[in-house]
Amino acid sequence: MTTTADSGVQSGPKAGGRSDTMRRARSVFANSGMIPALVLVIGIGAMLSPVFLTAPNLANVLRISAVVGLLAIGQTLVILAGGGGIDLSVGSVTAAAGVVGALYQGYGLAGTIIAALATGAFFGLVNGLGVTTARLQPFIVTLATLTIARGVSFQLSNATPIYVSVPGLDYLATGAILGIPVPIVILGVALLVGQLVLSRTVYGRKLYAVGGNEEAAYFSGINVNRLRLSVYMISGLLAGLAGVLATARLSTADANFGTGYELAAIAAVVVGGAPLTGGRGSILGTGVGVLIIALFENLLNLLNVNPWTQLMVTGLIVIVVVALNRKGEGGPDRRIWKGLPLYAVLVAGALLLFFVL
Amino acid sequence: MAGDAMNPMAPGTPKREHGVPVGPGERGAARPPLLSLRGITKSFTGVTALSQVGLDVREGTVHALVGENGAGKSTLMKVMAGVLQPDSGTIEIHGAAVRLHGPADARRRGISLVPQELSLMPHLSVAENIYLGCLPRRAGLVNRRALLRGARQVLERLGANVSPTSLLGEHGPAVQQLVMIARGIVLGGKVYILDEPTAALTDPEIERLFAVLRELQSAGAALVYVSHRLNEITGLADEVTVLRDGHVVQHRAASGVTEDELVRAMVGRSVERFFDRPGKPQGDSQPVLTVSGLTRRGVFEDVGFTVGAGEVVGLAGLVGAGRTEVARAIFGADPVNVGEITVRGRRARVRSPRDAIAAGIVLVPEERKTQGLILNLSISDNIALPHLRSFARGPFMRTRRLRDHTKQASERLRVKARSVSTAVGTLSGGNQQKVVLARWLTRQPALYILDEPTRGIDVEVKSEIYREIGRLADQGAGVLVISSELPELLGICDRILVMRQGRLVGAVPAHAVTEHEILEMAMGTGMS
Ligand SMILES: Nc1ncnc2c1ncn2[C@@H]1O[C@H](COP(=O)(O)OP(=O)(O)OP(=O)(O)O)[C@@H](O)[C@H]1O
Ligand SMILES: [Mg+2]
């Protein structure tokens, strides 16, 4: 009808771009289960625990989720670029980056950071070449890197945690900028830059195109391989940065660090609305996904729920939010309600075992 | 039917023109309706695709459905086949109201659909694709013998020379289209719904298809048929319904209807449909493209030709003659064994589409859904895809500039959509095709390769596209057009190349040759 003409007239020269970004952002959240889930967690948390909504608690949650948050940003790009893209290696690469950084602590803060970032980028390059040049499946390539990077970490650290004492490093864990803890600032900046890249740059457009239809993108002259290589390298770099933050927080580099973090990052991405098939999703969504999972785990902690039950509940939350997210694509998805009995039985069975044994 | 229910207040609602009523002597009216639609309304977010549509499909007749791109034809077909649920209105089978709970339910009731967009499994065999969802079984296992026998029979009936055991993905859209049709036929039933089945086919296949359709018809089946090739309607259909903007604007007997009458009902005015390119003097222009000795073993051999600046060259041939394959090779999408490609006198090393675009060659591919479009991105992103750099300042997109530019480009080809931010996947088939074309219009390459550029596009926009092609050539570009519609090639081209079984068998000036002569060359039956 008249909408086309209206939108052209109403938006002034400056408003044009912004309204477009707004629309895109809105379309990410419209019909998704993310926002209800976030509101629900915060609401329940505020009701059940007096500490939950306090500034120190929230700051603590965010500080701890900085590492997984960085990994989830890289994971978003990798998944978005399609072709079955996934990076299973990020947890191990975080540990490897931490260990290598620790070995270079003699070169000071800069040496430690550069060594860690270079390690991350190196493993990213390995993943990227495996996927593009060698044409292997991302799942397999990054699974191999997961194992290799963990092995490298143990080898280099002789399987013992390395104590790290670099002047200035602890600032990355305990410092604050304008009252905001530094890890939170780093995560926040990474999220903003990531979102900006996806929504406003040429690179971002190409990522969505390649993820949406690789062949059509190739026919349009886009260098698909170079783009895919780049997302694995970014993912590796961010894992390197995560390694630096982890070392700063713990003052040690531990080869065991980050086990299972790749799965946490993937969970955050899918909760944030990106399907594993690629071509859709946003960094903003991933940020919300990280937040939902972190707040939920924190709440369960505050309520003294035992860790095993926590695992079960977290798994269920991921399933429910992802099912709700799917509503956006063509009508309400009844599958979730059909799946519910199954999960009810699962939980009941687990609890039963728990009490019987 | 639908006229009384239309909202007279809605601005721009087309006025219903009363066509020639279906006379009592006609084959159509005498028979009872098998499938009837009453007051069907369907809207998508913000778009009313169908409004109070009524339609009867009678036993042993063909009911044709025509209308511009986005008129609602495919949506109506999907409602009939249970793929979409209408917002309101009823569907009746033999006069009894039914609710179709999905495609499987519709199939059980004897309704089978051949959809407009190819939806097949490229990694399965041709036979398996034909029997997808109804594989013949014995003792719980797939009965391979029955499967192959059935597939071979139906393919033979359609005149498709295809091995049932070959992988579907190895074949082009014409064979895939035939497989879709074959699937509709083996499903059996009483109502066959065909949405633009001939869009990818050439004349001999179309003739075979029509013979099969007539057999079904005389066996008592009811057929619903959609096509933008209006000359097919008069030969095949008993009744015609014309849709415009989701309304039925005309329903009449097909006998005696002229193409012009149909066009006027579809568009609301007369359209000059034929385009005759003023003859260009031959051979005096600089060649923009020279191909020599191009060979891809087993596919095409020793192909050599030139396209001059300002020249429109057509590539004719039957399905499987290797036209698309040559186009893809020139564009760098497929490797070649030997051969040389020269663009504007410079030897071009083309190893990927990226190289080709850099050398000044662009391609509008034949399969819009797989090779052309990113369905979940917007119209504007799709148009801008190959030129993102020119809409950027540094690394950042200049969103406003992008919108303005793409709005212009899509208006030029009359893409029907709410705005350029609409996702391409929600557009009608023809409108998607317009987006693929619009992508390259503003670029000024040396050579355009257009593979079936007007596939699925309505008459009005077709002539618009012919004019665009002429304009591109007048600006000095060379244009290589592949089309299955010979009248189209004869109308817009200066020169026509004919391929047969992977070889170039003729090159003739377009004004000095007839359709018949080209067909003979393509089939190898003539004297040449
Ligand atoms: N899934 C969808 N979401 C939103 N709009 C849709 C969707 N499917 C169709 N439409 C809209 O409904 C209208 C009718 O589309 P339809 O595909 O029925 O047209 P058509 O007559 O088949 O056109 P064509 O000749 O191009 O195939 C169009 O405006 C189209 O954009
Ligand atoms: Mg259609």
For A226-243, how does the pLDDT look when each residue is reduced to its tens digit (9 = 90+)?
999 999 999 999 999 999
pLDDT of residue B414: 86
* pLDDT average, residue stretch A206-221: 95
Q: Give the gap in angstroms from C-alpha B404 to the nearest C-alpha of chain A.
A: 9
Beta bridge partners of B55: B37
Asked if A216 and B46 come within 8 Å (Cβ–Cβ), the reply is: no
Task: Identify from A22, A220, A282, A329 which residue to disrupt to test chain B contact, counting B C-beta atoms within 10 A and taking the largest count.
Answer: A220
* pLDDT average, residue stretch A107-122: 96
Sheet holding B88-93, edge to edge: B47-58, B33-44, B88-93, B96-98
Q: Which of A234, A202, A196 is nearest to A74 (CA)?
A: A234
Burial of A110 (0-12, 13-18, 19+ CB in 10 A): exposed
Say which residue, A324 or B140, is predicted with more confidence.
Answer: B140
pLDDT-derived band at B200 (thresholds 50, 70, 90) equals: confident
A264-314 pLDDT per residue, tens: 999 999 999 898 999 999 999 999 999 999 999 999 999 998 888 888 888
Contact B73, B195 (CB under 8 A): yes
Phi, psi of B238 (to 5 degrees): -100, -40
Average pLDDT over chain B, rounded to an integer: 86
Task: Identify from A6, A20, A219 which residue to disrupt to test chain B contact, counting B C-beta atoms within 10 A and taking the largest count.
Answer: A219
Least confident of B273-277, B323-327, B349-353: B273-277
pLDDT of residue B284: 63
Residue B72 CB partners (closer than 8 Å, separation 6+): B42, B49, B50, B53, B243, B245, B246
- Does the pLDDT at position B102 exceed 50? yes
Q: Determine the Cα–Cα distance for residues A97 and A164; give it in Å rounded to an integer.
A: 13
Q: Give the gap in angstroms from C-alpha A192 to the nearest C-alpha of chain B.
A: 15
pLDDT of residue B29: 52
- The three-state (H, E, C) secondary structure of B458-508, written as one string: CHHHHHHHHHHHHHHHHCCCEEEEECCCHHHHHHHCCEEEEEECCEEEEEE
Asked if A209 and B403 come within 8 Å (Cβ–Cβ), the reply is: no
- Does the pLDDT at position B164 exceed 70? yes
Of A1, A13, A217, the CB nearest to B374: A217
Q: What is the token pair recorded at B444?
A: 């000024």
Residue type, B392: A
Q: Give the gap in angstroms from C-alpha B236 to the nearest C-alpha of chain A.
A: 36
pLDDT of residue A5: 34
Of A3, A215, A220, the CB nearest to B418: A3
Cα angle B123, B127, B133; round to 5: 80
Closest residue by CA, ligand 1 atom 1: B426
pLDDT of residue B427: 92
Closest atom of ligand 1 to CA, residue B67? 21
* Intra-chain end-to-end CA distance of chain B, in Å: 54
Residue A112 is inside which H or E element, if any? helix A108-132
The torsion of the CA quartet B20, B22, B23, B27, rounded to 10 degrees, works out to 140
- Does the pLDDT at position B435 exceed 70? yes
* pLDDT average, residue stretch B465-490: 90
A140 within domain boundaries: yes
Contact A156, A253 (CB under 8 A): no
pLDDT of residue B279: 59
Q: Which fold has domain B2-110+189-266?
A: Rossmann fold (3.40.50)
A198 within domain boundaries: yes
Of how many residues is chain A composed?
357
% chain B with pLDDT above 90: 51
Q: Is B429 a pocket residue for ligand 1 (Cβ < 6 Å)? A: yes
Q: What is the token pair recorded at B325?
A: 């394959």
Domain map (residue ranges) of chain B:
2-110+189-266, 287-523
Q: Determine the Cα–Cα distance for residues A284 and A292; give it in Å rounded to an integer.
A: 12
User: What does DSSP say about strands B247-253 and B239-244: parallel, antiparallel, or unpaired?
Assistant: antiparallel
Q: Determine the Cα–Cα distance for residues A171 and A176; give it in Å rounded to an integer.
A: 8
Least confident of A174-188, B56-70, B260-274: B260-274
Say which residue, B8 or B233, is predicted with more confidence.
Answer: B233
Asked if A202 and B418 come within 8 Å (Cβ–Cβ), the reply is: no
B35-64 pLDDT per residue, tens: 999 999 999 877 889 999 999 999 999 999
Q: Is B70 a pocket residue for ligand 1 (Cβ < 6 Å)? A: yes
Residue with tokens 């042993």: B60
- Does the pLDDT at position A139 exceed 50? yes
Q: Give the gap in angstroms from C-alpha B371 to the nearest C-alpha of chain A.
A: 4
Q: Which of B1, B95, B67, B68 is nearest to B40 (CA)?
A: B1
Residue B140 CB partners (closer than 8 Å, separation 6+): none
Average pLDDT over chain A, rounded to an integer: 86
**DSSP-based three-state secondary structure for B149:** helix
Write out the residues of chain A at the interface with chain B, using a CB-CB cutoff of 8 A. Answer: 1, 3-4, 7-8, 13, 16-17, 20-21, 23, 200-206, 208-209, 212-213, 215-223, 279-280
Asked if B388 and A216 come within 8 Å (Cβ–Cβ), the reply is: no
pLDDT-derived band at A331 (thresholds 50, 70, 90) equals: very low
Residue A202 CB partners (closer than 8 Å, separation 6+): B388, B389, B392, B395, B396, B397
CA distances from A328 to A80, A332, B183, B225 (A): 18, 8, 32, 33
Say which residue, B6 or A106, is predicted with more confidence.
Answer: A106
What are the residue ranges of helices labelled H in B158-229? Answer: 173-187, 203-218
Residue A38's CATH number: 1.10.3470
How many other C-beta atoms are found inside a 10 Å radius of the C-beta of residue B277?
19
A348 within domain boundaries: no
Q: Are B2-110+189-266 and B287-523 in the same CATH fold?
A: yes
Closest residue by CA, ligand 1 atom 8: B426
- Does the pLDDT at position A143 exceed 70? yes
**Region at B4 (left for phi over 0; alpha for psi -120 to 50; beta for the rest):** alpha
Which value does ipTM take for this structure? 0.83
A298 within domain boundaries: yes
* pLDDT average, residue stretch B83-98: 92
Q: Which of A268, A286, A236 is nearest to A94 (CA)?
A: A236
Least confident of B66-80, B357-371, B454-468: B454-468
> Is the model's pTM score more than 0.80?
yes
Q: Is B115 a pocket residue for ligand 1 (Cβ < 6 Å)? A: no
A176 within domain boundaries: yes
% chain A with pLDDT above 90: 70
CA distances from A146 to A247, A262, A269 (A): 19, 9, 19
pLDDT-derived band at A249 (thresholds 50, 70, 90) equals: very high
Closest atom of ligand 1 to CA, residue B427? 31
**DSSP-based three-state secondary structure for B427:** coil
Of A200, A222, A279, the CB nearest to B376: A279
Cβ pairs bridging A and B (under 8 Å):
93
A266 within domain boundaries: yes
**DSSP-based three-state secondary structure for B78:** helix
Helices A283-302 and A261-271 cross at an angle (nearest 10°) of: 120
Show the domain range for A225. 17-307
Q: Which of B381, B371, B502, B347 is nearest to B449 (CA)?
A: B371
* pLDDT average, residue stretch B517-523: 89
* pLDDT average, residue stretch A252-258: 95
- Does the pLDDT at position B248 exceed 60? yes
Q: What is the token pair recorded at A152?
A: 């490298």
* pLDDT average, residue stretch B428-440: 91
A335 within domain boundaries: no
Closest atom of ligand 1 to CA, residue B430? 26
Least confident of A54-58, B9-13, B187-191: B9-13
pLDDT of residue A337: 59
Q: Give chain A positions within 8 Å (CB) of B377.
A: 208-209, 212
Q: Give chain A positions within 8 Å (CB) of B397.
A: 200-202, 204-205
Please tell me which of A194-198, B98-102, B120-124 the model is most confident about, judged by mean pLDDT.
A194-198
Closest atom of ligand 1 to CA, residue B68? 25
Task: Write down the CATH number for the domain with range B287-523.
Answer: 3.40.50.300
Residue A228 is inside which H or E element, if any? helix A224-250
Q: Give chain B positions within 8 Å (CB) of A208.
A: 374, 377, 381
Say which residue, A231 or A20, is predicted with more confidence.
Answer: A231
Asked if A213 and B375 come within 8 Å (Cβ–Cβ), the reply is: yes
- Report the number of distinct structural domains present in chain A: 1
Residue B143 is given by DSSP the state -
A152 within domain boundaries: yes
pLDDT-derived band at A349 (thresholds 50, 70, 90) equals: confident
